[in-house]
Each structure stands twice: as C-alpha cells, then as structure tokens.
Amino acid sequence: MTVYPTPNQPVAVFDSGVGGLTVLHELLVALPAEDYFYFGDTERFPYGDRSSAELVEFSDEIANYLLDSGAKLIVIACNSATAAALEHLRGRLATEGREVDVIGVIEPESVIAAARTRSGRIGLLATNATVASGAYERAVMTADPHTRLTSVACPDLAPIIQAGGAIDEQLVSVVRSYCEPLRDADVDTVILGCTHYPLVRPLLQRMLGPDVAIVTSGDAVARRVEHALSVRGLRSANRGEGSYRFACSGSADQFKSVGERFLQLPLGEVERVKIGKGESE
C-alpha cells in the first residue's frame, strides 16, 4: 500500500553531527512556515572515515526513525551520507511505497558551482569518504562536462569545528594547508563539501582569495526542498512561523551548546535517542 505524507507533517533533516544545522538555518529562513525535526548522529560522528556500507546502514536506521516520527520529506544534510546512501534510500522508500522525497546536498551544490565558474576550474573541500566516493566528480561533470574538479580531502577540519573551540592558530594552519592545492590549481569556485565548513567560511575566503566564489549547500538545498514540497502539494498551511525540534544520539547538552552557534537560534530542549546498536556495543 502506498503511504502519502500530508502538509502538516515536519521536514526532517539529519547529519552526523551539528554541521547540518547550517542547512537547517537556510531552510528556516527560506521556508519559515514549515515544521522541522533535526537529528544529529553525534555518537557515531564523524562519518568522514566510515565505509560506504556503514553509512548506508546508519542512514537506513536514521531514516526509519525519522519516518516513524512523521517526516514528510528527508534532507540528508551530510555529504558523506549523501554520497553513500542517497540513491539507496530513494530506491528503498519507492519499493516500500512511501511517497517521501529524499534530498541530498551534493547535486544542488554541483549545479550551482558549474553555473558560477568562469574558468571551468572548480575546487572541492570535503571529507575522505566524500572525496573517495567520486560523487562530486560525477555530479559536476553531469552539470557541465567542460569543467575540471580539484578535490582535497580534509580529515581534520570537521572534527575541529564539531568540537566548538575557538578559532586559533591550529585551525588557521589546518585551513591554510587544505586551501593550498586549490590555489595551486587556480580554481575560481570552491564547493564546501561538508556542512560543517560554512562555520569557517570567512577564514576559507581569506585563504582562497576574494575572487574565488564559495558554494555552500544550505541555500541550494532550501530551493530544492521548496520545489519538492510545492510539486507534491505538501507546503505547510501555517500562516506564522513553524516549529523546530532536535534529537541526537550522543550528549544532548554538548549538542545544544555547540548547535546554537551553528544554527544562530536557540535550540530549546534536545532529546537524546538511541539509534541502531550505538558505538558502545
């Protein structure tokens, strides 16, 4: 039996940690009438060094939880999980007869980057798993085959940002080392292939130079969500602001403390929930 969502259900967003809150922030601004439910899999953070099989398993578990929580649309606000599990989740939900769209962060960013570049030289900063997947190369080439992508894996950047510490010389040094290959490649557009990275966008812009366009996933995903909801007739009928709530698999206090800096709004109560077997088992 086919299951159809309704307009009064929430839009669900999930990430390995708090980085996806940069995507949620853009959704809250672009579609303020919608209700949102965000899940951060902080107990199993980071996803960047996970295998594809693990990421598919984690994404399946989280999707089940979000669907049980009433999601009408799911946003995978994690580049590593998008690369590994987007098509799997779409296929699985279609097979199960669930008319719930699943939107990732890679394709929307790639389309914008291909349209924005003047030289055809595009850079990518992302996690090991995302770079190794080749998902951005495929997406960028599909958007414009006359482009060249220079990819740089950044294994240390997301964990430093997730920790929520101060911007210090260690972070500056890490960012500079990751930007150097992109400067050498003379790129004019850089995709931030991890939703944590917008938190250090000013630092990245300084290292890359003022003439380099930086593309983030938040705005692109918000437009894609708006289109998907409109086509399916699932836009909320709320006249005012919708609600938003949060859950995580790790420490709720830590998620709240770091998350409010990412979201730039108060989080309120954060629920801790167990997903899958967890890291301690």
pLDDT digits (tens, 9 = 90+) for 178-191: 999 999 999 999 99
Are 232 and 101 in contact by the 8 Å Cβ rule? The answer is yes
Active site residue 194: yes
pLDDT tier for residue 279 given thresholds of 50, 70 and 90: low
106-216 is classed in which CATH architecture? Answer: 3-Layer(aba) Sandwich (3.40)
pLDDT tier for residue 112 given thresholds of 50, 70 and 90: very high
C-alpha Rg value of the chain to the nearest Å = 18
Confirm whether pTM is higher than 0.85: yes
Q: Can you give the residue ranges of every domain in the chain?
A: 11-104+219-272, 106-216
pLDDT tier for residue 278 given thresholds of 50, 70 and 90: low
Are 74 and 101 in contact by the 8 Å Cβ rule? The answer is yes
Q: Which residue has the tokens 């990430």?
A: 15
11-104+219-272 is classed in which CATH architecture? Answer: 3-Layer(aba) Sandwich (3.40)
pLDDT tier for residue 143 given thresholds of 50, 70 and 90: very high
Tell me if domain 11-104+219-272 and domain 106-216 are identical in fold.
yes
Q: How many CB atoms lie within 10 A of CB 205?
A: 15
- Give the integer Cα–Cα distance in Å for 177 and 180: 5
- The pLDDT of 241-250, averaged and rounded, is 97
- The pLDDT of 4-17, averaged and rounded, is 96
The end-to-end CA distance of the chain, in Å, is 36
Residue 222 has pLDDT above 50, yes or no: yes
- Choose the catalytic residue: 154, 179, 194, 248: 194
Q: Which class for 1: exposed (0-12), middle (13-18), buried (19 or more C-beta within 10 A)?
A: exposed
pLDDT tens digit string along 33-72?
Answer: 999 999 999 999 999 989 999 999 999 999 999 999 999 9
Active site residue 248: no
Residue 277 has pLDDT above 80, yes or no: no
- Choose the catalytic residue: 78, 154, 179, 248: 78
